[in-house]
Amino acid sequence: MDVRSLGQNRILDRAQADVAAQRELNRRRRLRRVMFWLSFPAIWLWARLLSGDPVSPGWPSFPEGAELWLPAVILAVMIGVLIIGQTFGLGRSPHTVFRSSELDVTLADVRGMGEVLEEVVRTMNLFLGHRTFAERMGGTARRAVLFEGPPGTGKTYAAKAMAREAGVPFLYVSATSFQSPYLGASARKIRRFFRTLRKIAREEGGAIGFIEEFDAIGMSRSGVSSRMSSQSMQSSSLPGLSGTSSGALPNMGRTMDKDEPGSVGVASFVNELLVQLQSFDEPPFNAKVLGWFIDRVNRWLPDEKQLRKPGAVAANILVIGATNRAADLDSALLRPGRFDKVIHFGAPGRAGRREIIDYYLEKKNHTSELDDGAYRDTLAAITQHYTPAMLEHILDEALVCALRDGREFMTWSDVTTAKLTEEAGLRSPKEMTPEERFLVATHEAGHATIAYVAGKTRKLELLSIIARQDSLGMLMHTDVDEKFNSSREELYARILIAFGGMCSEERYFVQAGTGTAGDLQTATETAAAMVGAYGMSDTLISYMPMDSGPIKTGLVAHVLQDEQGRAMVESLLEKAKAEAARVVVTHAHVLEALRDALLEREELVGQDILDVIEEAEKMVLDISKEVAAHACD
């Protein structure tokens, strides 16, 4: 095999890979072993045939009276087998083995990942050509890789595709299934999993072990100790418990099992993992037995005539851990030689989302309008920060909308309805009084007015006075362009938008109601972040270092507890509210037009909002022209 092919972005030819060669070698060994053991009964049968007495000797007969004690013996054996089986079953590995033919995912199905997919392919090629990489280049292939990223970004999907493309068994296990209430059982499960992984890898030329939710057994040991120390300090300071013995605490003297989740048992998980990740080349059982005999023989032989023990045969395995909490993992697990390669799976960009949308729409019934590239580009644009799983879910929900209307094909309207429902929640209309309905419409129109005037980088998606979940009305707005950074002006505009509802209520009803609570929370959190984290105020001191340690109270709390920080947040909020109030007054015509449209239609979506605003602006412009014309006359 050409060694340079290991570094390419395309998958190696499976037939030429080291894994296939090892699998063929193991297959021939198994055939020779079967032929060897079958030769003994064949020789015995030929011997009896040639001796002239081919009749079999028959089965041995039971002694007399066996029917009295034989049932008791069988029952005792069954009970013994049950007890022994249960004892050994506590340490049984909880994994499930999938053959490559059982996996229906290929790397061609992994879309929208860009360079992440290229890194996955390179890792798989090193796995397939491990012997070539070691013998011709002197390198050591990656044996443990960490897939890190938010849920639904394709970590499990990519791992299954790797096993399918490599043609090797895929051992899937959830990390939580290693946990056991019995002392030592968790460590035995981990050992058995790695032992099985090595065994299958030697038989098949390679194997991939996938551990889902890896943080459940790989949590930082120091973090666990710190949390337990803080909890102990808090419990010792509880009222009425000072001076009491440990037996008087709420645990009632109960001894905590070391394997319990959240206790020091996490440290035993990590310790066992560290040992197993360093024991890939542990010799198999038959090699250990042969080595034991050689050791006994060598005790009687001089040094120059010592027999040589068989070397450990490296098992070609690849362990993949998947987590969305890589920062909480123990640092010893991430050092070179263990999980030394971390591949981050993030939410795809716009181009990646378009690729994923194309892939899923090929499999789902849709009308011809969704074949238009403009609609697909729009869907990719309005689904910022969506993961592949979320995109598929939206399209599935669109099919549900179509099915509810008695159709078999989804439309663009179904897609937008599904998206709004997932983001804003199901409609739950409430019977409001006319006064309260007028108040809610004014409140939401105020938000939309500020967003239109001050939020130049914001795109208005939904304006509604239909109750959804806990909200009587809402304004949904997103970035016009896909952005990963925000300027001071953009964050300040979000504070202004949050004050839009309160200022509108005060403008038309003199005082604001309780519906502003969530808006004030949003404004305060944004202002606190600007002051304490982003350096967008009169101080360059960051409060972020204070938001660490065993007990996290939050950045907002740290900023507000500091006298100077609280004063800066208060000043920023007061300035923003005054500016929002001015916008409400100067653009009252926009606010009133949106309010009236909401009272009439209850919900405005996308372009409908802009149409109402443009009509109001046009009407004011026309009135201004008429006034100017009359003044000239």
pLDDT tens per residue, range 618-631: 887 777 667 666 66
Residues of the chain with pLDDT under 50: 224-264, 549-552
Q: What angle do CA 341, 171, 222 make, to 5 degrees?
A: 50
Contact 157, 23 (CB under 8 A): no
In this structure, the number of other CB atoms found within 10 A of the CB of residue 84 comes to 10
pLDDT in tens, 223-238: 544 444 444 434 444 3
Distant-in-sequence, close-in-space partners of 617: CB < 8 Å, separation ≥ 6: 589, 590
In the chain, the domains with their CATH numbers are 3-14+91-221+262-291+312-344 (3.40.50.300), 350-424 (1.10.8.60), 434-523+577-628 (1.20.58.760)
Which helix (H) or strand (E) segment holds residue 146: the answer is: strand 144-148
Return phi, psi of residue 267, to 5°: -65, -35
Inter-helix orientation angle 388-404/350-361, to 10°? 40
Question: Which amino acid would we find at residue 480?
Answer: V
Quickly list H helices, 96-214: 115-128, 130-137, 155-166, 185-204
C-alpha pair distances (Å), 399 with each of 259, 358, 367, 411, 518? 45, 16, 11, 9, 33
Torsion of CA 118, 119, 125, 126, to 10 degrees: 160
* CA gap 223, 220 in Å, rounded: 5
Residue 2, phi-psi category: left (phi > 0), alpha (psi -120 to 50), beta (remainder): beta
pLDDT at 235 (0 to 100): 42
468 - beta bridge partners? 427, 471
Residue 341, phi-psi category: left (phi > 0), alpha (psi -120 to 50), beta (remainder): beta
* CA gap 590, 606 in Å, rounded: 16
* CA gap 579, 499 in Å, rounded: 9
SS3 396: helix
Q: What angle do CA 307, 311, 312 make, to 5 degrees?
A: 150
pLDDT at 280 (0 to 100): 63
Inter-helix orientation angle 563-586/588-601, to 10°? 80
Question: What pairing do the DSSP bridges indicate for beta strands 317-323 and 207-212?
Answer: parallel
Beta-strand (E) ranges in 258-380? 317-323, 341-344
Contact 501, 447 (CB under 8 A): yes
Residue 210, both tokens: 């996938």
Contact 365, 399 (CB under 8 A): yes
What would the DSSP string read from start to end of 122-144? Answer: HHHHHHHTHHHHHHHH------E
Give the N- to C-terminal CA distance of the chain in Å, as an integer.
Answer: 92
Where b means 16+ CB within 10 Å and e means fewer, 129-157 reads bbbbbeeeeeeebbbbbbbbbeebbbbbb
Question: Which amino acid would we find at residue 408?
Answer: E
CA nearest neighbour of 288 among 310, 258, 259: 310
Which helix (H) or strand (E) segment holds residue 272: the answer is: helix 265-277
SS3 242: coil
Tokens 């068994």 correspond to what residue? 169
CA nearest neighbour of 267 among 211, 325, 227: 227
Question: Which amino acid would we find at residue 286?
Answer: N
pLDDT at 573 (0 to 100): 92
Torsion of CA 34, 37, 41, 44, to 10 degrees: 140
H and E: helices and strands count for the chain: 21, 9
Q: In what order do the strands lie in the sheet with 474-479?
A: 474-479, 458-464, 603-605
What would the DSSP string read from start to end of 414-446? Answer: HHHHHHHHHHH--B------HHHHHHHHHHHHH
pLDDT at 1 (0 to 100): 59
* CA gap 173, 131 in Å, rounded: 27
Which helix (H) or strand (E) segment holds residue 474: the answer is: strand 474-479
Q: What angle do CA 288, 93, 154 make, to 5 degrees?
A: 120
Half-sphere exposure of 5 (CA within 13 A, CB side): 16
* CA gap 402, 409 in Å, rounded: 6
pLDDT at 632 (0 to 100): 64
Which helix (H) or strand (E) segment holds residue 34: the answer is: helix 18-51
Where b means 16+ CB within 10 Å and e means fewer, 505-542 reads bbbbeeebeebbeebbeebbbbbbbbbbbeebbeeeee
pLDDT at 234 (0 to 100): 41
Contact 44, 229 (CB under 8 A): no
Residue 101, both tokens: 């033919």
User: What is the Cα Rg of the chain in Å?
Assistant: 35
What single-letter DSSP state applies at residue 264?
A: T
